[in-house]
């Protein structure tokens, strides 16, 4: 640990991050002027380059290629990247990681395979199974591709850059230049053509931006990330997704409550009030540029408490339609409580069940459940939902344990974990109104949370001189060097 003096005669605590002193909390780095007034370290213009200390392995490059493929859709190299990553794992000299995340995910896929045997829609279920196996392979490559903070840094910046240059840019161009929207809601193309899904993806990216800012000292990365703190919430509001709005409000609330105690120890009362003022100004700017339609849709939420008033929620009638879809889903779940109708086969089953006289015509056709929980129950049954929860908790529980230990011993290292966990929570809050269980972005976020928690755990263990053999999780033994690269222990 080292201490840095401030212009106000105070000192702030900093810890090592790739050989660079870690900057103070996220909120204090929105603009340089605020940094100076608060007496916090300014961005380090002489910091090493973005790629300093990065070891370019085949799995890591393949993982980046997969991110490029599924985010930009410029090159159809997703499957090639998976194969290359698996080949790189077979050739690498480091011991391979096989954490509980992969075990639970494999169990979930095996249960889906059991559902395939009894599914009335075997072809659609088989296609869904193949997609899940590919996701499992990507997770396997991901958890073995990251070996240092440098890897996490490069991956985060690369992923955010791809998302900003394509989905974010495309959605803004469609909305403001070409006036191409869906009932006034911002969209892009391919996986981002659904406004609810686009809002959910932006929530995960917002969490990554916050995690990056909590540690990053390179001035140009900070400036780009600060812009992202404005554009991503604005994009979520432009989608006019009610689930996205609720999730964004939850994300903001959890960030404020979670970081307030840390800010109280760092800033005096006057500076905290200034910080609150800047935060309120940022919210006001985003709210001012948000489309009027988002506030109309949000205001309609007050009618959700009464099913007789669903027609008053929105003019498009989507709330009434979604309620009918949920009623159909409830009937399917009651008749297939154990194995479901087969992974990815729900739309086919819905088209059959929706013909019943008890349902309104608005629910007819091949529809999605518009709910992550109902989708899992309908396609994989109750056991499938339990296995899926095991996938999530196998990452979240150990990460939360590490975060709590960091709060006592190295509060700065707890902040990235906190933001990533809050982002995951907000994502599932949006999942109340969307089906997100099979989206690749979810599992990539779980990989990032896992490797961040794992590396942080090892950094804490190295500080208290605990032998690597006693560090939880069966992963390679290594300790970080000042450049962030791991050194294998003999």
- Report pLDDT digits (tens) over 150-161: 999 999 999 999
Is 50 exceeded by the pLDDT of residue 480? Answer: no
CA dist list (Å): 403 to 150, 267, 428: 20, 22, 20
Q: What's residue 315's pLDDT?
A: 64
104 or 9, which is more confident: 104
Is 50 exceeded by the pLDDT of residue 484? Answer: no
Q: What's residue 177's pLDDT?
A: 94
Question: What confidence category does residue 53 fall into, taking pLDDT thresholds of 50, 70 and 90?
Answer: confident
Q: What's residue 344's pLDDT?
A: 96
30, 226 in Cβ contact below 8 A?
A: yes
Question: What confidence category does residue 265 fall into, taking pLDDT thresholds of 50, 70 and 90?
Answer: low
Is 90 exceeded by the pLDDT of residue 388? Answer: yes
Mean pLDDT across 111-137: 96
Is 90 exceeded by the pLDDT of residue 37? Answer: no
107, 136 in Cβ contact below 8 A?
A: no
Least confident piece of the model among 127-136, 187-196, 216-225: 216-225
Least confident piece of the model among 48-62, 308-322, 348-362: 308-322
Question: What confidence category does residue 138 fall into, taking pLDDT thresholds of 50, 70 and 90?
Answer: very high
pLDDT digits (tens, 9 = 90+) for 280-316: 777 787 777 777 777 676 666 655 665 655 656 666 6
Helix axes 195-213, 219-238, angle to 10 degrees: 160
Angle at 268 between CA 263 and CA 271, to 5 degrees: 85
Mean pLDDT across 17-39: 41
Is 60 exceeded by the pLDDT of residue 33? Answer: no
Q: How far apart are the first and last CA of the chain?
A: 27
Angle at 187 between CA 182 and CA 190, to 5 degrees: 115
Q: What's residue 195's pLDDT?
A: 94
Is 90 exceeded by the pLDDT of residue 317? Answer: no
Question: What confidence category does residue 217 fall into, taking pLDDT thresholds of 50, 70 and 90?
Answer: confident
CA dist list (Å): 191 to 103, 246, 280, 376: 28, 22, 33, 20
Name residues whose C-beta falls within 8 Å of residue 287's C-beta, 6 or more positions apart in sequence: 237
Is 70 exceeded by the pLDDT of residue 1? Answer: no
12 or 284, which is more confident: 284
SS3 string of 104-127?
HHHHHHHHHHHHHHHCCCHHHHHH
Question: What confidence category does residue 445 fall into, taking pLDDT thresholds of 50, 70 and 90?
Answer: very high
Q: What's residue 411's pLDDT?
A: 82
pLDDT digits (tens, 9 = 90+) for 389-424: 999 999 999 999 999 999 888 888 898 999 999 999
269 or 357, which is more confident: 357
Is 50 exceeded by the pLDDT of residue 279? Answer: yes
On average, the pLDDT of the chain sits at: 83
Q: How far apart are CA 3 and CA 262, in angstroms?
A: 17
């Amino acid at each position: 640990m080292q201490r840095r003096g401030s212009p106000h005669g105070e000192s702030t605590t900093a810890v090592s991050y790739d050989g660079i002193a870690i900057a103070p909390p996220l909120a204090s780095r929105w603009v340089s002027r605020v940094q100076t007034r608060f007496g916090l370290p300014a961005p380090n213009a002489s910091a090493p380059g973005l790629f300093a200390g990065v070891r370019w392995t085949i799995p890591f490059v393949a993982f980046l290629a997969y991110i490029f493929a599924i985010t930009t859709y410029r090159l159809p190299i997703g499957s090639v990247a998976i194969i290359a990553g698996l080949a790189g794992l077979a050739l690498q000299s480091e011991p391979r990681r096989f954490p509980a995340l992969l075990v639970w995910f494999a169990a979930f896929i095996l249960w889906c395979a059991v559902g395939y045997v009894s599914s009335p829609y075997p072809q659609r279920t088989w296609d869904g199974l193949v997609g899940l196996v590919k996701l499992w392979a990507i997770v396997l490559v991901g958890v073995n591709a990251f070996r240092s903070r440098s890897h996490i840094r490069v991956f985060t910046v690369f992923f955010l850059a791809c998302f900003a240059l394509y989905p974010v840019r495309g959605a803004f161009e469609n909305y403001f230049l070409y006036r191409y929207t869906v009932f006034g809601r911002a969209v892009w193309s391919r996986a981002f053509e659904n406004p609810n899904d686009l809002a959910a993806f932006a929530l995960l990216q917002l969490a990554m931006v916050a995690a990056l800012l909590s540690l990053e000292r390179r001035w140009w990365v900070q400036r780009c990330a600060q812009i992202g703190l404005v554009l991503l919430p604005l994009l979520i509001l432009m989608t006019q997704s009610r689930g996205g709005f609720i999730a964004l409000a939850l994300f903001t609330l959890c960030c404020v409550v979670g970081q307030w105690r840390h800010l109280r120890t760092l800033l005096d009362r006057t500076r905290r009030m200034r910080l609150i003022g800047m935060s309120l100004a940022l919210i006001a700017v985003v709210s001012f540029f948000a489309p009027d339609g988002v506030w109309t849709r949000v205001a309609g939420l007050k009618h959700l408490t009464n099913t007789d008033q669903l027609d008053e929620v929105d003019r498009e009638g989507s709330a009434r339609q979604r309620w009918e879809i949920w009623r159909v889903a409830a009937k399917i779940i009651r008749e297939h409580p154990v194995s479901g109708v087969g992974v990815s086969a729900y739309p086919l089953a819905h088209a059959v069940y929706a013909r019943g006289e008890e349902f309104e015509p608005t629910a007819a056709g091949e529809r999605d459940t518009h709910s992550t929980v109902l989708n899992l129950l309908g396609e994989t049954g109750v056991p499938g939902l339990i296995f899926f929860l095991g996938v999530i908790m196998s990452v979240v529980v150990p990460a939360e344990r590490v975060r709590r230990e960091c709060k006592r011993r190295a509060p700065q290292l707890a902040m990235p974990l906190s933001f990533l966990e809050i982002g995951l929570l907000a994502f599932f809050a949006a999942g109340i109104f969307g089906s997100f269980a099979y989206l690749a972005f979810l599992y990539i976020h779980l990989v990032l949370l896992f490797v961040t928690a794992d590396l942080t755990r090892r950094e804490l263990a190295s500080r208290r001189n605990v032998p690597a053999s006693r560090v939880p999780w069966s992963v390679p033994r290594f300790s970080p060097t000042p450049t962030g690269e791991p050194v294998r222990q003999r």
